[in-house]
A and B are shown apart, each in its own frame.
Chain A
Amino acid sequence: MDFLRDPYTFVANRFQEFLTGLGLAPEWVLFISFLTGAFILATSAMLLVTMLIWIERKIVARVQDRFGPNRVGPWGIFQSFADLIKIFTKEMITPTGSDWLPYNLAPVLAVSAVLTVWAVLPFTVTFYGVNLSVGVLFVIALGAVGEMGIILAGWGSNNKYALLAAFRAIAQLISYGVPLAITMLIPVMFSGSMALNDIVLAQDVWYIFLAPLVALIFFVTNLAEIGRAPFDLVEAESELVSGFNVEYSGLKFGMFYVAEFLHALTVSLIFATLFLGGWRGPGAVEYPVLGIVYYTLKTSLVYFLIILLRASLPRFRIDQMMAINWKLLIPLSLSLLMLTALVYRLVFTQPHIVRVLVLLAVNGIVFGVLNLILARVEKRNSRRPLVAEPRPVARAESISSNTPVE
């Protein structure tokens, strides 16, 4: 019964008892259990990616009225495993003149920057790697490590396209890092802690109800951070051939692919943690095993939304992407931060329902004002109506006079 209620603690305790029974010193017991736990968690995250690729291909195919993978296994479920076996036997070409260490370090760094986030994610009330007291900042800091991976890839490849794409990617990632960090302040502010499990524990009301616009900005920012459509300028096939990873092949390219998919899942997990109450749900504290069910459901919802947006939206132009960030998201998120901080301070002692209603009203007003401003900007920058211009017709007189014939 104890096992069914909380399998993680049960197994962890048995394992530690077993190690102590072997006569090991306490610090070695701790070290080995840390090592085992981290290894299992990281490996399962990596293996999950094969499933993610299958899910994504299937959903995108359905959106585009195709079948998607359907040959290997039932519903093509083993397609990713077949691809996995294949990619291990592909040749890894190293381009001439590449910088050896940066070139080979980049794919490793790209994956590890995403994977390490899993160390601080709370999966149930008892099942988390570590409840780091600076968890939120840790997540942002790992983004910086991922950026270094991209720089190394672009630099090490000895390719102009790769370098250009890497620097565009960095410009995109650091720009969207600003609203990301601002919006992550809001859950920290409400809960009074930067540790992710504490933020979940403090969410008696899901923070998406207290700050819906902030959650929306956080979601959009994360779309840009993972480099998915509509923000996939990083791998704009038509302009930059394939982005910073153009010179990579075989499993080294595969690692960038793994990093991208894992990043998409990881930001869904973080969104669910910060704004959708993480593992919280009826009975999740008494029966921690339920927590992982709720967490999976919430994460799947966010992940599904990300895939759906990827399948349906066209790509932004780079100047549009920068303008959205610097001229819309940053001023908006800073204004929302100030308003939320002020208003929430005033309704601090009220019951939950009053706080939610007041903050929803504030968000509604901000949204209305924003719409008015955007409508005015739109009117000022209104484009000419899309009609055909009169064109020169290929007649003898129009060629000689070089003027269009009406």
Chain B
Amino acid sequence: MLNDWSYVAIFTVISMFLPAAAIAIASFLAPKKPNPIKNSIYECGVETVGATWVQFKVQYYIYTLVFLLFDVEIIFLYPWAVAYNQLPLFAVVEVIIFILILLGGLLYAWRKGALEWV
């Protein structure tokens, strides 16, 4: 039981260790000769104007919000999918209703123009 997770945990640690170790080795091998011009931010050869951390448009937020709702919906469907082979037809119809309601929401967002990238 816990063995599964300990393997995943060990694997995660190793998968973070390998690239980190490679970068550490490279930082020993690589030359380190920084100067202000080399370290400057890339910007078409001129200094960056204003703060880097700029404001974003609301479109990103809407996409993320719609994504969040779909994500939660799909999470609900996974336990159902696992049990699918043992469920009566009635349960399948219920899930179809569940999806249709959400498709209605998608349709609303679509008609409102929330899905346009403008």
Contacts and interface: CB of A to CB of B under 8 A. Distances in A.
| A contacts B: CB pair < 8 Å | yes
Which of A174, A177, A318, A348 has the most CB atoms of chain B within a 10 A radius of its CB? A174
A293 interface: no
A250 B52 contact: no
B64 A318 contact: no
Nearest to B56: A167
A192 B82 contact: yes
B11 A129 contact: yes
A160 B4 contact: no
A115 B63 contact: no
B46 interface: no
Contacts of A171: 60, 63-64
A94 B103 contact: no
Contacts of B27: 92
Contacts of A136: 78
A361 interface: no
A345 B93 CA distance: 10
Contact of B18 (A115, A159, A174, A192): A115
- Interface SS, B side: helix
A158 B41 CA distance: 7
A130 B8 contact: yes
Interface residues of A, number: 88
Contacts of B15: 42, 111-112, 115-116, 118
A188 B18 contact: no
Given A160-B48, A189-B81, A331-B103, A130 B7 contact: yes
B45 interface: no
Contacts of A111: 15, 18-19
Contact of A46 (B18, B32, B110): B18
Contact of B52 (A158, A175, A322): A158
A259 to B, nearest CB: 8
B42 A345 contact: no
A96 B115 contact: no
B22 A331 contact: no
B38 interface: yes
A163 B81 contact: no
6 contacts: A42-B14, A96-B41, A115-B18, A132-B8, A178-B74, A190-B84
Interface of A: 30-31, 34-35, 38-39, 41-43, 46, 87-97, 104, 107-109, 111-112, 115-116, 118-120, 129-133, 136-138, 155, 157-161, 163-164, 167, 170-171, 174-175, 177-178, 181-182, 185, 188-190, 192-194, 241, 246-247, 250-252, 255, 258, 318-319, 322-323, 326-327, 330-331, 334, 337-338, 341-342, 345-346, 348
Closest 4 pairs (CB-CB, A-B): A115-B15, A251-B26, A119-B11, A319-B117
